[in-house]
C-alpha cells in the first residue's frame, strides 16, 4: 500500500509543478512573442500554444517514465526518500525544458525581426532638397587686396623707387599718398638687389 501512496503523491506533485511551469512559460512566451510579431495576436497565440503543448508532452512523458521504482517501500522514511529523488528529477527536467523553451523563443524572435528588417525597402540614395533660405544681407567691406611681391625676370636689373615713410604726405593736399597708404599696415619683403 505504501508504494501506491508514493506513486499518487509523486504524480500529484509532478503534474502540479508541470502545470505551474507551463502556465508561466505560456504567459512569458506570449508577451515575448507579441513583441516579436509586432503586436499581431493570431500568430503569437499559435506559436505559444505549440510551444506549451510540446513542453507539457515532454514533461509529463518524463514524469511517467520515471515513476517506476525498484524495491519495496516499507516505511515513511523510504517513501520520502524515493519521493524526493523523483520530484528532484522532475524539477531538473522542468528547469531544463523551460530554459530550452526560452532559447527557442529568443531565436524565433531574432529570426522574425531579421525577416521584418529585410522586408523594409531600402531608401533610395537621393540627396535631400535644400531648403530655400533668404540670402543674408552682409555689408560690403572694401578691404585692400594683398599684393604679391614682383620678381624680376632673370638678367634684369632691379630699380628701387624710394618709398615714402609712414608719416610722409603729398605736398598738394596734405594727405598720405596712395602708395604709402597701401603699404601702411602691410608687410612687404625687401627686394633682392641684382649685381651685374
> Which pLDDT value is given to residue 116?
73
Task: Quote the pLDDT of residue 125.
Answer: 57
**CB proximity list for 57: less than 8 A, separation 6 or greater:** none
As a whole number of angstroms, the distance between CA 87 and CA 17 comes to: 9
Segments in the chain forming alpha helices (H): 2-36, 41-65, 76-119, 178-183
CB atoms within 10 A of CB 100: 13
pTM above 0.75, yes or no: no
Greater pLDDT, 26 or 168 = 26
Residue 13 is predicted with a pLDDT of 92
Contact criterion met (CB below 8 Å) for 159 and 193 = no
> For residue 103, what is its C-alpha cell?
532559447
Per-residue pLDDT tens digits for 64-117: 888 887 777 778 888 888 888 889 999 999 999 888 888 888 888 888 878 777
Q: What is the per-residue DSSP string for 24-54?
A: HHHHHHHHHHHHHTTT-HHHHHHHHHHHHHH
Higher pLDDT, 97 or 131: 97
Average pLDDT of the chain is 75
Give the count of beta carbons closer than 10 Å to the beta carbon of residue 51: 21
Question: C-alpha cell of 184?
Answer: 601702411
Q: Is the confidence at residue 178, as pLDDT, over 60?
A: no
Distance CA 107, CA 99 (A): 12
How do residues 133-174 score in pLDDT, each as one tens digit?
A: 666 666 676 766 667 666 666 665 555 555 555 555 444 445
Judge whether residue 23 has pLDDT over 80: yes
29-77 tens-digit pLDDT? 888 788 777 778 888 888 888 888 988 999 999 988 888 877 777 788 8
Q: Report which DSSP code applies to 102.
A: H
Cell numbers for 129: 532638397
Q: What's the maximum distance between 2 C-alpha atoms anywhere in the chain?
A: 140
Give the whole-number percent of the chain exceeding pLDDT 90: 9
Amino acid at each position: 500500500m505504501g508504494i501506491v501512496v508514493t506513486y499518487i503523491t509523486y504524480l500529484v506533485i509532478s503534474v502540479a509543478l508541470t502545470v505551474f511551469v507551463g502556465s508561466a512559460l505560456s504567459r512569458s512566451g506570449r508577451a515575448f512573442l507579441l513583441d516579436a510579431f509586432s503586436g499581431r495576436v493570431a500568430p503569437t497565440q499559435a506559436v505559444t500554444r505549440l510551444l506549451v503543448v510540446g513542453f507539457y508532452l515532454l514533461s509529463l512523458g518524463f514524469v511517467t517514465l520515471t515513476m517506476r521504482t525498484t524495491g519495496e517501500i516499507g516505511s515513511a522514511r523510504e517513501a520520502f526518500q524515493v519521493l524526493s529523488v523523483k520530484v528532484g528529477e522532475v524539477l531538473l527536467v522542468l528547469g531544463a525544458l523551460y530554459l530550452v523553451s526560452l532559447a527557442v523563443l529568443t531565436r524565433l524572435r531574432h529570426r522574425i525581426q531579421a525577416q521584418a528588417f529585410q522586408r523594409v525597402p531600402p531608401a533610395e540614395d537621393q540627396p535631400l532638397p535644400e531648403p530655400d533660405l533668404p540670402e543674408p544681407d552682409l555689408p560690403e567691406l572694401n578691404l585692400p587686396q594683398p599684393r604679391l611681391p614682383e620678381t624680376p625676370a632673370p638678367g634684369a636689373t632691379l630699380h628701387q623707387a624710394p618709398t615714402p615713410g609712414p608719416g610722409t604726405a603729398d605736398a598738394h593736399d596734405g594727405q598720405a599718398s596712395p602708395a604709402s597708404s597701401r603699404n601702411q599696415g602691410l608687410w612687404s619683403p625687401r627686394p633682392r638687389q641684382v649685381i651685374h
